[in-house]
Chain A
């Protein structure tokens, strides 16, 4: 039930506020000598309101997972702020941190690896509750029944005593979702929740996630490399390239305009099932994403960019421009008054 007061809070402050977030991992040579940093996330800012699904799209190594894991409190950020419901993540003590984590859920990529093989479904779902102080067995059973019904594993009595290997891939992923939901979080990070599943099951799981999200007014960070599913399951898209969010927009706006040359390349690379595809070649930018230890100066996409402006793109990092209200892009081509 949503009260008037809650509805007001919802409109005034975002659930999650991230500003200038950097997550650098130190590289060491011979144990002590510092050999540089892997800059996995390098200056990312955004707000996430309650009930919104945000998709992080990018290639492997672009920093999507690191960004989500930093928000989840699994890493200590190198620099920048993560503010959740007005609390600064870096100010939290151990107990508050535990409370914070119970407000978040994490859906891992690979259901086969994310579930401990020697625990029954009941133990898997009871563990987060046990850690967070729900020790009453009747209460645990009530919650377990509830989440299993939410993820459509019905009747739940058929599943509670099973072990992960007795379940199909889709069912295992449902258990992972149920585990993320069992503490009734406000924010869930789903890291490639369907990439290991078959096409026919994918849509089913994504729909289920969408339904749970709407039911609980849940904020979702949906990490994926598959732009085609994003259209159906998120409100906003961030395109990540080499540790930066190069384009941020509402889903339909991004699919319509796609300003950044990298976004354009991505959209051109993804086929829709169409027999015409076999007759034409796709235009793919040469090269590969840069190393995150020594990223190129200026815009990180400039060595591969077909529209690179010599003397600007390879020298100065582009700030965020906003060619359309609510649609921002880090690219010099969209500077007001021309580049």
Chain B
């Protein structure tokens, strides 16, 4: 027996090593990625650049462009596939100590103030000025660059914007003669009709994952009513009438959503649309193009897109969050910052950005239109109605504190008023 097992294991090991040298990590099959020029001075010897970025059809084009354009014989860009939750955990871990694992990390507008305040990201103003001309960085929309700045300093190079877009079943709506909803009330009445007609039990699907996305949804609801969790000065505003109204609006949706909706991250909401178990969903635009792909679902040609609705008819803004995704350099990387910046810049260059449409909504002016993207019109309209963000370094901390309480309210375990009181108290504790 001994004689049989060891050779088999050895053979397997050799086979795996041989196969690993062919094809590992080459993702040139992404039709939304391309190869661009990436001119940097490579250090002596062989170097590995570790890139941290989650997988989604909107982020992958930029990651894949970076990996395929900037890899050379002596410089390897390594990008491990990872889901969004994993990226959040790894970001915290790598920024925690004096040495980290990653050299380029994907960041988004929401976390920039917190990280910048703590000095965890390399300020990019000087590097930007140096390389802007070569990579056409000035065409990146200025408001997006501001969205990734803090205290006058740029901390991330924007690659794309994401905003809430509604995806709905055109065939179901047409059959029942329904209008596309523009408010939460209209969503509820459409859902009611779909339910009565016996088409679906839970026509609405939203990403309310209890360990992350649910607070984004609450924040979007409050933004629709013109407020946020905190003010720019750091005062907690969860005791306002708008906070209550937003929370009640969310609770009103729960009868029309799957009872386990708090297990839904965005991929699971996509799954609801793929399976035809939901007729309306509101997610970030980066998840929209998957819904139109024939390889993903038989319903791919029955999906329509609309701008994000408002919480009430009289609300000033839409139920929406404008999130800007970008590339940052962590403070504790040992590699040359110039080289890393050039890699990031190549990934957001004009060619790369054009190639990423319609999978992504690049951060450059006017790239996405009704013609070149199935959800382009909806995305542009959504963006126009999003509330300008309120920036405060304690937002991320407050969000983490209130999340468990929010989940309890949505699960019906505590009342709205009780939940709001608890959230206000918990936030004030960490706001200091």
Q: Do A and B bind each other?
A: no
Which residues does A use to contact B, with CB under 8 Å? none
Which residues does B use to contact A, with CB under 8 Å? none
